[in-house]
Amino acid sequence: MKFDLKAEFELSKSLPAKAKAQLKQLLKEADTTLFKRGCPKGKEAEAGHLKSFKLSGRKLQLHITSGRYVRAHACASRLKNLLAKNLGKDFHIGLKSLKTISYSITLPAKKKADLSLAFVKKLEWKKKEAILHLEELDLEEYEALIDKLVSLFHEKTSEKPQAKEHQREVWYTGEKPMATTENISETLERKGWVKHFAAGIFHYMPPYTKLMRYIENLMLEEVAKPLGFEEIVLPKLIPLEVMRKKGQLTGIPEEMFYVSEPGKRDLKHFEKYTDYVKLTGDVSPEKLQTFLRPPRYALPYAQCEPFYEIFSNKITDIDKFPFKFFDRSGFSFRYEAGGKSGMERLNAFTRIELAYIGTPKQVKELRDSVVEKLKQVLSSKLGIECRLVETTPVWLAHSDPNAEVQKTDVIGTYDIEAYIPNRGGRKESEWLEICNASVSFDKYHARYSIKERARREAWTGCSGIGLERVVYAFLSQKGFDMKNWPAEVKQALGQLPAPPKMLDWPKET
Ligand code: ATP
Ligand code: ZN
Ligand code: MG
């Protein structure tokens, strides 16, 4: 690892001859002692070295190189203090500014990689090295950045370990009779149970809503409440900082929706835009954007992002654990590919999110109980053919793919997947994930700075029940003819309300 810094100090005055001699002496001393201080014995060759300097008028140009020990920017910083002290004391000359002219880091690199790095303006590839030409920053900024930048470079260039994803079926309802193989998305729209609104977003009409609310209620009565979960309402506008802590900003920035505030809370500010809309009828997102602030929020992706924030920077007491909450207060949002998959892959979907914090034992047991209850409801009450699979923890996939898989033999995530007959045979087709239940270990304690009063280990877990997905699986297997539905469901729902009818919608009445 080699550092190469060219920097320029601007002095408040030109130096008198006497001062020039002293400056030379100071620079020499700095090179032999100051730049070597703190460097391990025998590694002096890897400490800082003043390669050259040039004084012209009030400008002092320096060329400092180093290895890994006293990095060039740290040398410059030390020199700044030394010169300020000495020249100030003896000659009343101050240092006006320090400008980075160029700074590069040479790192070993096995082979060229196609990548870009923030704060690096040019990446040069040599035979077994890469040279990172950095943007010109202040010394303190380099100090805060460089170790992280070097790690990021290694992370991006190292061979990624194979995604440690494991998928193993651990339970299966067994085959159930299928009443249909139709494409439910099409039928739902044709019958007017849902109406397409925008990419991946639908109006839910009375019959669909009644069925979805019945399933939601079943989940609350049979899963959440018997296990002691209390309802809370989690915020749905999530500041970016909370998304960063959850890992979403580095793991899945391409799958989220972002929200901007208006440039000013003032109609006048928008005058040009409102005029334009009045005159043309065109909503022009491009024009609108210029009247908005940069996005400071994202919409919930996992829905539990704000849950951990309740405990952030607070001191918890595991003797008071567990806390078991659920949120069903609204949509989760995902920027899914084009929103072309009908009702099975939505951009806005409703979900019951169960979130819990407790001792490792409590969290594991709770998660396992959630899974047991879900199996029960899905299989016995709704009669859905589904299976339980162990899979990669979602938090792992969403944040750092290089993180170790798990620290204990506790399974990170269980998914429940339903068979969708329209997709093909049971063996070869992809099943649809309808619920999941995860233990996140102490990951979010670290990320959200949640402290336990006696530093005892505590975990969190969460489970998402995708209501549209359960409806989708139910209808895909049982069809629309209620005679094929479980008796209990039929009885509870009674007659389903009709969708609104217009001359040209829905197609089938
Ligand atoms: P998939 O593999 O189907 O994309 P996922 O692994 O992205 O699912 P999770 O992140 O585990 O899903 O989300 C939890 C639950 O939220 C899922 O089990 C599912 O019920 C629901 N869900 C996720 N994405 C969608 C979507 N686009 N539309 C509807 N429901 C969804
Ligand atoms: Zn969650
Ligand atoms: Mg997904």
Residue range 372-389, pLDDT digits in tens: 999 999 999 999 999 999
In a domain, 81, yes or no: yes
Same domain assignment for residues 223 and 183: yes
Q: Per-residue pLDDT for 339 more than 60?
A: no
In a domain, 80, yes or no: yes
Gap between the Cα atoms of 438 and 380, Å rounded: 23
Same domain assignment for residues 120 and 50: yes
Same domain assignment for residues 173 and 79: no
Within 10 Å of residue 269's Cβ, how many Cβ atoms?
13
Q: What CATH number did the domain enclosing 150 receive?
A: 3.30.70.1920
Q: Which two tokens stand for residue 443?
A: 């990951």
Same domain assignment for residues 209 and 107: no
Same domain assignment for residues 197 and 60: no
Gap between the Cα atoms of 109 and 97, Å rounded: 35
Within 10 Å of residue 449's Cβ, how many Cβ atoms?
13
Residue with tokens 């009045």: 278
Task: Tell how far the Cα of 252 is from the centroid of ligand 3, in angstroms.
Answer: 10
Task: Tell how far the Cα of 120 is from the centroid of ligand 1, in angstroms.
Answer: 36
In a domain, 247, yes or no: no
Same domain assignment for residues 35 and 106: yes
Cα–Cα nearest to 5, from 133, 149, 143, 152: 133
Q: Which two tokens stand for residue 238?
A: 């999530």
Share of the chain above pLDDT 90, in %: 79
Q: What CATH number did the domain enclosing 232 receive?
A: 3.30.930.10
Q: Per-residue pLDDT for 393 more than 70?
A: no
Q: Identify the domain boundary among 114, 129, 157.
A: 157
Q: Per-residue pLDDT for 312 more than 60?
A: yes
Across 102-111, 187-196, 468-477, least confident range: 102-111
Number of domains in the chain: 2
Residues 120, 107 contacting (CB under 8 angstroms): no
Q: Give ion ligand 2 contacts, CB < 5 A.
A: 302, 304, 462
DSSP 402: T
Task: Tell how far the Cα of 164 is from the centroid of ligand 2, in angstroms.
Answer: 20
Gap between the Cα atoms of 186 and 182, Å rounded: 8
Which protein residue has the closest C-alpha to ligand 1 atom 13?
A: 464
Gap between the Cα atoms of 321 and 178, Å rounded: 44
Q: Per-residue pLDDT for 398 more than 70?
A: no
In a domain, 245, yes or no: no
For residue 470, the ligand 1 atom closest to its alpha carbon is: 20
Gap between the Cα atoms of 390 and 416, Å rounded: 9
**Which pairing describes strands 348-358 and 451-452: parallel, antiparallel, or unpaired?**
unpaired
What residues have CB less than 8 Å from 368, skipping those under 6 apart? none
In a domain, 192, yes or no: yes
Task: Tell how far the Cα of 162 is from the centroid of ligand 3, in angstroms.
Answer: 20
Same domain assignment for residues 138 and 174: no
In a domain, 284, yes or no: no
Confidence grade of residue 77 (pLDDT, cut at 50, 70, 90): very high
Average pLDDT, the chain: 93
Same domain assignment for residues 456 and 333: yes
Residue 305: alpha-carbon gap to chain centroid: 9
Q: Per-residue pLDDT for 395 more than 60?
A: no
Question: What would the 3-class secondary structure string for 298-331 be?
Answer: ECCCCCCHHHHHCCCCCEECHHHCCEEEEECCCE
429: containing domain? 167-237+303-493
CA atoms within 13 A on the CB side of 15: 24
- Looking at all shown ligands, the one closest to residue 165's CA atom is 1
For residue 334, the ligand 1 atom closest to its alpha carbon is: 27
Across 23-27, 108-112, 180-184, 187-191, least confident range: 108-112
Gap between the Cα atoms of 321 and 324, Å rounded: 9
In a domain, 197, yes or no: yes
- Looking at all shown ligands, the one closest to residue 325's CA atom is 2
Same domain assignment for residues 29 and 86: yes
Confidence grade of residue 159 (pLDDT, cut at 50, 70, 90): confident
Q: Identify the domain boundary among 99, 132, 157.
A: 157
Query: For 6-48, what is each residue's pLDDT tens digit?
Result: 999 999 888 888 888 888 999 999 999 999 999 998 888 899 9
Which protein residue has the closest C-alpha to ligand 1 atom 20?
A: 466
Residues constituting the chain: 509
Q: Per-residue pLDDT for 163 more than 60?
A: no
CA atoms within 13 A on the CB side of 110: 6
In a domain, 255, yes or no: no
Question: What would the 3-class secondary structure string for 118-129 be?
Answer: CCEEEEEECCCE
Gap between the Cα atoms of 310 and 235, Å rounded: 11
Q: Per-residue pLDDT for 394 more than 50?
A: no
Within 10 Å of residue 409's Cβ, how many Cβ atoms?
5
**DSSP alpha helix (H) spans, 359-481:** 360-376, 394-398, 443-447, 467-478
Which protein residue has the closest C-alpha to ligand 1 atom 8?
A: 433
SS3 of residue 111 by DSSP:
coil
Q: Per-residue pLDDT for 59 more than 80?
A: yes
The pTM (predicted TM-score) of the whole model is 0.87
**DSSP secondary structure, 444-460, as one string:** HHHHTT-EETT----EE
- Segment 239-252 shows an average pLDDT of 97
- Segment (H or E) for 138: none
Same domain assignment for residues 214 and 321: yes
What per-residue string of b and e applies to 127-163 under the rule 16 or more CB within 10 Å gives b?
eeebbbebeebebeebeebbeebeebbeeebeeeeee
Task: Tell how far the Cα of 29 is from the centroid of ligand 2, in angstroms.
Answer: 58
Which protein residue has the closest C-alpha to ligand 1 atom 11?
A: 436
Cα–Cα nearest to 301, from 335, 271, 340, 332: 332
Same domain assignment for residues 223 and 146: no
Q: Identify the domain boundary among 157, 189, 209.
A: 157
- In this prediction, residue 344 carries a pLDDT of 93
Gap between the Cα atoms of 461 and 297, Å rounded: 24
- In this prediction, residue 183 carries a pLDDT of 95
Same domain assignment for residues 62 and 207: no
